[in-house]
Chain A
Amino acid sequence: MSAAQKIDIAAVGKRFAGDPSTAPPVLGEISLSIAENEFVVLLGRSGCGKTTLLNIIAGLEKASSGIVRIDATPVLRPGGGKGMVFQQGALFPWLTAQQNVEFAARNRGVAAAARSGLARELLALVGLAGAESKYPFELSGGMQQRVAIARALALDPHILLMDEPFGALDELTRIEMQNELLRVWAARRKTVVFVTHSIWEALILADRIVVMAPRPGRIVLDERVTLPRPRSRTDRTLLTLYEGIWEALQ
């Protein structure tokens, strides 16, 4: 791999405070290196620790053992250019779409005058031009996730962490959003770590699919997908990959 290493997950383990010491840990010893601008999907069933791992990378949770480094610096706290998109959007209901995006820009010190233009530009990028003054409750689930993506981009993040961002959407909206995300990602290249339990979502999106299994949370497969995008769901290579991932998930 010629690309520089961006995220280095070194022997990260996690055990929750209240768990009995005999129970298997949420995360065993996970080691994973993610390259700059790589689109990595963490795939696995519920309880395999993929969201916990994402939260540790985000700095929202602390590892019980091991360490996560980003650009060779240990992760100690959230923020600092690690953009995050949550499953339920987590938009601030009292702010309009525009203000939600501006919230993110404000804290990284974008001048007030520039914030509004930036927010407008990012909302347009995610296909929400004209919806700037709408409150979250006036937006559909898919549109709310678009705002959440625009908000994360307003941090000008070097890393985008996505926790089942399309998990709550209906199938058709979900496919639209996957295409949309790839379009945005092509325009704003970032290192992406994307959590899902949908094999197809992983196959359509990822440069690299990391399959995890529970008790203890561990990596059981690390598969590269070199197929160019957009990918067809009927592609033979993808079907073969699907088989392999399915096996690994059993």
Chain B
Amino acid sequence: MTALRAHGRWIAFAIPIAVIGAFLLSWEIAAGAGWLRPILFPPPSKLARTLLELVADGFPEGVTLGSHFAITIERILIGYAGALALAIPLGLVIGWFPLLDRATSGVVAFCRSIATLSLLPVAIVWFGTGEASKIFLIGYGCFWVMLSNVVAAVRLVDPLLLRAARTMDASRVDLFTRVALPAALPRIFAGARVALGVGFMVIVGAEMIGTIRGLGALIMEARTFYRSDVTMVGMAVLGVIGFVIAGGLQRVEHWLMPWQGRASEPDA
């Protein structure tokens, strides 16, 4: 049983690796044979060299991949953390009082629908081209997504659970802290995951202006110099970060909420 399960897990791991490997290999061959123009589709071997170059010397010269990476992560984390710190308490309160929800739902839907990057010019007018405007944009994007998710999470708490708690003499405070809050937690977490994704979408645009540091700036800057290899490496790094963080969040989720969906997994 255990052997079979380990075998299954190995296959589950090997298949995506094999698919990616086959994809990269055919890309390499196609570029080598001249079917793809290297300036548009630099082969993976070239991308690997670019990666090393970016790590060692940087692009522009002196700004290494590490520092691009660090500043991008820093901006996302500040904007994201700020958005969550505001949106979670606010969303809990709005969600708990139906009247408040009805009063604010229009504004929330409106603000959420504004494409964050369309605020870029306004953000620059308000906050200049420095860090503040970038963090504002990330924060803005994350905040509204998070807020509407937290409100929904509280509104969608199963009323049966609240009724059950009332038959057990739960106070109004208990109903909120010991029933609504844990019941809403899974949806709040899902919202946090979506909001983080928004942060990564916004960052590239937010870093387009007024800076040469950051993965978004790297991608834009490379475009000006026809360095599609650099752009691609930048994209890949963003992808990997998103992937790693999503995985990390999932672990935190399982750890925080062991009652959620663990049943479908082999032996977590």
Is A78 close to B, CB under 8 A?
A: yes
Q: Is A120 an interface residue (CB 8 A)?
A: no
Q: Write out the residue numbers on chain B whose beta carbons fall within 8 Å of the beta carbon of A90.
A: 158, 160-161, 163-164
Residues in A lying within 8 Å of B, measured CB to CB: 58, 60, 77-80, 82-84, 86, 88, 90, 92-95, 103-104, 107-108, 135-138, 151-152, 155
Distance from B172 Cβ to chain A, minimum over Cβ atoms (Å): 12
User: In angstroms, how far is the closest chain A Cβ from the Cβ of B265?
Assistant: 12
A92-B258 in contact given A79-B167, A83-B167 (Cβ < 8 Å): no
B179 near A: Cβ within 8 Å? yes
Contact of B168 among A77, A79, A93, A136 (CB under 8 A): A79
- The complex places the Cα of A47 from the Cα of B158 at a distance, in Å, of 22
In the assembled complex, the CB of A85 is this many whole angstroms from the nearest CB of chain B, namely 9
B170-A86 in contact (CB<8A): no
A86 to B160: give the CA distance in the assembly, Å. Answer: 9
- Contact A93:B259 (CB < 8 A) given known A88-B160, A103-B178, A107-B174: yes
- Cross-chain pair count, CB within 8 angstroms: 62
Query: Can you name 11 extra interface pairs (CB under 8 A) apart from A78-B169, A79-B169, A84-B164?
Result: A60-B166, A77-B166, A78-B167, A82-B167, A84-B167, A86-B160, A90-B164, A92-B164, A103-B165, A135-B258, A137-B263
What is the bound-complex CA distance between A77 and B172, given in angstroms? 13
Taking beta carbons and an 8 Å cutoff, which residues of B are in contact with A?
158, 160-161, 163-171, 174, 178-179, 182-183, 185, 257-259, 263
* Cβ–Cβ < 8 Å partners of A79 in chain B: 166-170
Q: Are A94 and B257 in contact (CB under 8 A)?
A: yes
Give complex CA distance A228, B61 in Å. Answer: 93
Q: Which one of B160, B163, B174, B182 lies within 8 Å of A94 (CB-CB)?
A: B182
17 contacts between A and B (CB under 8 A): A60-B166, A78-B169, A79-B167, A79-B169, A80-B169, A86-B164, A90-B160, A92-B182, A92-B183, A103-B178, A107-B170, A107-B171, A138-B263, A151-B168, A152-B167, A155-B168, A155-B169
A92 x B179 contact (CB < 8 A): yes
The residue in chain B whose Cβ has the minimal distance to the Cβ of A104 is B168
Contacts of A86 in B (CB 8 A): 160, 163-164
Which chain B residue has the least Cβ–Cβ distance from A107? B169
Q: Are A92 and B169 in contact (CB under 8 A)?
A: no
**Which of B161, B166, B171 is A78 in contact with, Cβ under 8 Å?**
B166
The complex places the Cα of A200 from the Cα of B228 at a distance, in Å, of 76
Q: B185 to chain A: which residues have CB within 8 Å?
A: 94
CA distance A108 to B168 in the complex (A): 8
Smallest CB-CB A-B distances: 5 pairs:
A79-B169, A90-B164, A107-B169, A84-B167, A135-B259
Cα A137 to Cα B259 in complex, Å, equals 7
Q: Contacts of A136 on B, CB cut-off 8 Å?
A: 259
CB of B24, distance to nearest CB on chain A (Å): 41
